[in-house]
Copies of this chain bind each other. A is one copy, B any other.
Amino acid sequence: MKKIINQPENVVTEMIDGLVYAYGDLVTRIDESGIVISKNLEAGKVSLVSGGGSGHEPAHAGFVGKGMLAAAVCGPVFTSPTPDQILTAIQEADQGAGVLLVIKNYSGDVMNFEMAKDLAEMEDIQVETIIVDDDIAVEDSTYTAGKRGVAGTVLVHKILGAAADNGATLAEVKELADKIVPNIKTLGVALTGATVPEVGHAGFTLAEDELEFGVGIHGEPGYRKTKVAESHVLAEEIVGKLKEQFNWSKGDNYGLLVNGLGATPLMEQFVFANDVRQLLEKEGLTITFKKVGDYMTAIDMAGLSLTMIHLEDDAWLTNLNQEVNTIAW
């Protein structure tokens, strides 16, 4: 394992210290906890709190700030934070209008975030939850009942964060959340496994001439291994699967996110985006929102994912384009 770290067991705490050092104008850390909280919270606004295991940077701490998350709870690498941690984040984030928890669909996260919700409600904090399950690769997985939550979560942060910043009530933000999540779908491809620092070797391996479609952001198995292929072949597979799921029509309005998984350079992400462009032009879709880069990574995994969102409502696009002040959007 070649990594620029110190003791593997300290990687999350040192990472948070580095992040808060670099962006101390935007965020702060609550004591020695794994909680990164915005310095720009506004009384009376709904607060979004997200998080989960670390190793997906810039998610989620990179999306804390005005217009997105109020706080991010950073668990150990690939491991859910505890209910206590999440409860503290809820308490600190709440500005009197309640808290919406954005949860990626992993059993540990769902259990711990739900438990924290119960604890917070006992303290009369209003809490709602939304579970993101955008990964269409497989049904049920190593750590998940149902579909996994992956890069589409970042679009959920953005759309709901804009609504909350515009003064929506908790009930309104929750209603919006329930509408957008079924309209967000993601599929990825991995060229290598990811190495958890405390483990010291990749969670799975692929041969030098092999790739795998549908791998999860913790290295959970995908749906097919195949020989490495050109970018346009990967794009055809991924766009084809998304088309099956969305069942779109010509002229429909969509947004897209090409997301690098950690070790794949922007050069390759842009080449892939160009292949996606050609396919979507053939489909006759109207693509009004686009973003390319590392947003939800899997530590040092090589590969990428494509997220598409059906923009049923123009207001969602407005929310995606609304100004924010975060580290990484």
Contact = CB atoms under 8 A, between A and B. Distances in A.
Contacts of A328: 293
A16 B7 CA distance: 40
Contact of A18 (B11, B14, B273, B297): B273
A252 interface: no
* Interface class of chain A by DSSP: mixed
A216 interface: no
Interface string A278-304: 000000000000111110010110111
Interface in A79-110: none
Contacts of A192: 2
Interface residues of A, number: 59
Nearest to A230: B6
A18 B274 contact: yes
Contacts of A23: 290, 292
A54 B21 contact: no
B300 A270 contact: no
A127 to B, nearest CB: 29
Given A18-B270, A18-B292, A22-B290, A2 B191 contact: yes
A271 interface: yes
B22 A297 contact: no
A19 interface: yes
Interface stretch (A63-71, A115-123, A261-269, A310-318): A261-269
Contact of A266 (B232, B264, B271, B294): B294
Contact of A297 (B7, B208, B265, B304): B265
Nearest to A302: B2
A262 B4 CA distance: 14
A258 interface: yes
B57 A265 contact: yes
A171 interface: no
A2 B277 contact: no
Contact of A5 (B11, B17, B268): B268
Q: 6 closest Cβ contacts across the A-B interface? A: A18-B270, A18-B274, A18-B273, A57-B266, A4-B268, A263-B263
7 contacts: A2-B228, A4-B271, A4-B303, A14-B270, A15-B274, A17-B274, A57-B267
Given A14-B274, A17-B270, 15 more contacts: A4-B268, A4-B304, A11-B267, A11-B271, A15-B267, A18-B271, A21-B277, A22-B270, A22-B273, A57-B265, A57-B267, A58-B266, A262-B265, A266-B294, A300-B302
